[in-house]
């Protein structure tokens, strides 16, 4: 055997031995089953922390959109008030006495050329609400003759009077109805936690600002949306 052949043979054996050693090193560097399970557990923990954060962000985004829709409703009601002696909405145009597209929004939002039941009456967090709307008007405001720029009984500020809130999904009412003293539909109609326990629901106040929280519930079954009885009950607006 020539020296050249001998050298090539040695090189080939060296290459084969190097390959075997590399394979052994690669095998020894691979994850063990315990290490793999630890990695999977860490990933699962991170996912469990991320999912609630994403859900909260989604709820907040829907609450912001809901507020924007309420603000548009207020602008529409203000334009209606411009031509109707500062009344925010007409009375007695509720559901089911009238079809949903013939209730008070069909009259109020005609001034801004919207369809009878516009999308601004919807909250994105309210899935398929009955009668196609999410918001409900405080009928106490109308029946107690509280108009734009006015205050409630006992000098209550307009920033403390609820004009509109969010209704329960399975109710089609357009008004949080005015009842005789001691009687209320508040507990059956109003959704207090549409956007979760922390965010509560959105409330459009008489001065036009919006609060993202549930109002304090009155004791003894009273209606938190009512205005003190010192405010007289008068004839409905035109």
Question: pLDDT tens, 212-229?
Answer: 876 665 444 457 787 765
**What is the reported pLDDT for 5?**
47
Report pTM. 0.74
CA 33 to chain centre: 45
- Confirm if 232 and 224 have CB atoms less than 8 A apart: no
- Confirm if 231 and 155 have CB atoms less than 8 A apart: no
3-state DSSP helix/strand/coil % of the chain, to nearest 5: 45, 10, 45
User: pLDDT category, 8, cuts 50, 70, 90?
Assistant: very low
Bigger pLDDT: 200 vs 48: 200
Written as six digits, the tokens of 154 are: 């006992």
Average pLDDT of the segment spanning 143-162? 80
Q: Cα separation of 82 and 147, whole Å?
A: 11
- Confirm if 112 and 101 have CB atoms less than 8 A apart: no
Write the DSSP symbol of residue 109.
G
What share of the chain has pLDDT > 90, as a percent?
A: 37
**What is the reported pLDDT for 220?**
47
Q: Cα separation of 74 and 110, whole Å?
A: 14
Write the DSSP symbol of residue 174.
S
Average pLDDT of the segment spanning 179-200? 81
For the chain, first and last CA: distance in Å? 119
- Confirm if 117 and 189 have CB atoms less than 8 A apart: no
**What is the reported pLDDT for 153?**
61
Bigger pLDDT: 188 vs 153: 188
Q: Counting Cβ atoms within 10 Å, is residue 60 exposed (0-12), middle (13-18) or buried (19+)?
A: middle
User: pLDDT category, 233, cuts 50, 70, 90?
Assistant: low
Domain ranges of the chain: 67-221
pLDDT, averaged across the chain = 80
pLDDT at 198 over 50: yes
Average pLDDT of the segment spanning 94-103? 86
Task: For 33-72, write each residue's pLDDT tens digit.
Answer: 888 888 888 888 888 888 877 888 888 899 999 999 999 9
**What is the reported pLDDT for 229?**
56
- Confirm if 166 and 136 have CB atoms less than 8 A apart: yes
**What is the reported pLDDT for 4?**
43
pLDDT at 179 over 60: yes
Q: Counting Cβ atoms within 10 Å, is residue 180 exposed (0-12), middle (13-18) or buried (19+)?
A: exposed
């Amino acid at each position: 055997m020539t020296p050249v052949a001998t050298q090539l043979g040695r090189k080939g054996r060296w290459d084969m031995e190097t390959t075997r050693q590399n394979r052994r090193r690669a095998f020894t560097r691979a994850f063990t089953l315990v290490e793999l399970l630890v990695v999977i557990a860490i990933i699962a923990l991170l996912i469990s922390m991320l999912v609630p954060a994403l859900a909260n962000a989604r709820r907040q985004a829907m609450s912001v959109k809901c507020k924007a829709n309420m603000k548009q409703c207020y602008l529409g009601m203000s334009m209606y008030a411009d031509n109707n002696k500062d009344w925010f909405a007409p009375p007695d145009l509720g559901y089911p006495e009238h079809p949903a597209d013939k209730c008070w929004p069909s009259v109020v939002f005609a001034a801004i050329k919207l369809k009878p039941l516009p999308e601004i009456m919807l909250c994105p967090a309210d899935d398929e609400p009955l009668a196609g709307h999410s918001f409900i008007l405080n009928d106490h405001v109308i029946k107690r003759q509280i108009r734009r720029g006015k205050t409630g009984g006992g000098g209550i500020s307009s920033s403390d009077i609820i004009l509109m809130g969010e209704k329960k999904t399975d109710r089609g009412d357009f008004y949080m109805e005015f009842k005789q003293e001691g009687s209320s539909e508040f507990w059956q109609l109003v959704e207090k936690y549409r956007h979760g326990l922390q965010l509560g629901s959105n409330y459009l106040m008489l001065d036009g600002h919006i609060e993202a929280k549930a109002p304090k519930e009155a004791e003894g079954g009273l209606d938190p949306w009512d205005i003190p009885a010192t405010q007289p009950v008068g004839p409905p607006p035109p």
